A = this chain, B = another copy of it.
Amino acid sequence: MTTDKPRLCRTFQTAPAAVPRENTAKYLDSGLSATGFEKPDWLVPDIEDGTAPDMKTQALDNIVERLPDAEFVGEVWPRVEWSYEDERFRERGREQIRTLVREVGEFLDGVVVPKVGRLDDVKRAEQVVAEAEREYGYPEGSVGLSVIVESARAVSDLRAIAEWGGDSRLRGLVFGPVDYTAELGGRELDGQQASWDSLLWSLSNESSANDLVALGGPFDRLFGERAGVRFYNGEAYADQIEREAQVGLDGSWSLHPNQTAQANRIHMPSPDELASAIHRIESFDEAKGGGTGAVMVDGQMVDEATYKNFVNTVETVRVIHDAVPEQTTTLYDDSQLDRALSLDP
């Protein structure tokens, strides 16, 4: 399950693993069977905050029952319970991780551990996964770990956690703004919350420095209402995701199929972006052949450094095409996609 190539995670969609409905796995089933742009790259069956205390056992049962038969082609990363400041949550998390690895270890890409504290606490979580993996006979490193960065202590140790993580089973660093805001005592004033831009930058930087995936936090104002009509809050979510993409986060958190569809698209080069990248790559290659190190294209000075950004764009398209060709063939026209796939920068 562990691979060396960059992990595609434009979307990290949590789904409560049990809800008080006739089908308690309603949201889990919905995530596992999503198609097109609504299919998340990572599906995160949630045993933690999205599931009520007396549904935790059912949540675990649902995951164990559903995964073996699911035809979901993305990655699956259940979120278990944990807390750097409360041993009871860690004990429950330990049992949940053991059950998941024992019962459905081969269908998991890893587990998501929330509310981690300083580096020592992250290492403690890693040990739990390592022990379960060993005990149930999986190859070392085959069950990944992603953590939710949502305590002041984890942020304080972010650099150390990421550096340690680069040589471990750690795969993803995910921001958890709601707990984080509570811990810092951040306030919403005039309808404005802190956007924690510096933290997102730090998350993006440390992930890049250590080959980890960096993911944004949930946007919980799912719906707006005005003059009596309730509607999906699509503008505000897209604004948040665009901001995350600008600073280089690999993907975003989704709570809803609409959010998944938007985040998949925003974390994917637009047709214009791809066209522009191809054009600049070709212009630069031509200029370099003629002895020029930097060339002006449409008013922008393009050199080796700028060039890398355009190459990134093309490579992202390729990675997405490998994973979900139905998305690339939907978004780009055939000739453009062919050109991107055949380019050898």
**Interface positions of A (Cβ within 8 A of B):** 16, 19-20, 46, 48-55, 150-153, 155-156, 159, 162-163, 176, 178-179, 181-190, 192-194, 196-199, 201-202, 204-209, 218, 220-225, 230, 233, 242, 245-248, 250, 255, 266, 273, 287-288, 290-294, 296, 298-306, 308-309, 311-312, 316
Contact = CB atoms under 8 A, between A and B. Distances in A.
B156 A163 contact: yes
Contacts of A181: 248, 309
A247 to B, nearest CB: 5
A245 B54 contact: no
Contacts of A311: 182
B153 A209 contact: yes
Given A20-B291, A186-B247, 15 more contacts: A19-B291, A19-B293, A20-B290, A52-B287, A55-B293, A156-B159, A156-B206, A184-B247, A185-B248, A186-B204, A190-B242, A221-B299, A222-B296, A222-B301, A255-B301
Tallying the copies of this chain within the complex gives 3
Given A185-B312, A208-B185, A305-B179, A293 B16 contact: yes
A56 to B, nearest CB: 9
22 contacts: A19-B291, A49-B294, A51-B293, A54-B291, A55-B291, A152-B207, A156-B159, A156-B163, A156-B209, A176-B305, A178-B306, A181-B248, A182-B305, A184-B247, A184-B248, A187-B245, A188-B246, A197-B198, A199-B201, A220-B306, A223-B296, A255-B301
A187 B246 contact: yes
Given A184-B204, A292-B20, A294-B49, A194 B248 contact: yes
A200 to B, nearest CB: 9
Given A49-B305, A182-B305, A248-B181, A152 B299 contact: no
A228 to B, nearest CB: 13
A303 to B, nearest CB: 4
A225 to B, nearest CB: 6
A225 B20 contact: no
B186 A225 contact: no
Contacts of A192: 242, 246
Nearest to A206: B156
A220 B300 CA distance: 6
Contacts of A190: 242
Contacts of A186: 204, 245-248
Contacts of A50: 293-294, 303
A206 B255 contact: no
Contacts of A153: 209
Shortest beta-carbon contacts, A-B, top 9: A184-B248, A20-B291, A152-B209, A182-B308, A152-B208, A178-B305, A223-B299, A52-B293, A186-B248
A319 B292 CA distance: 38
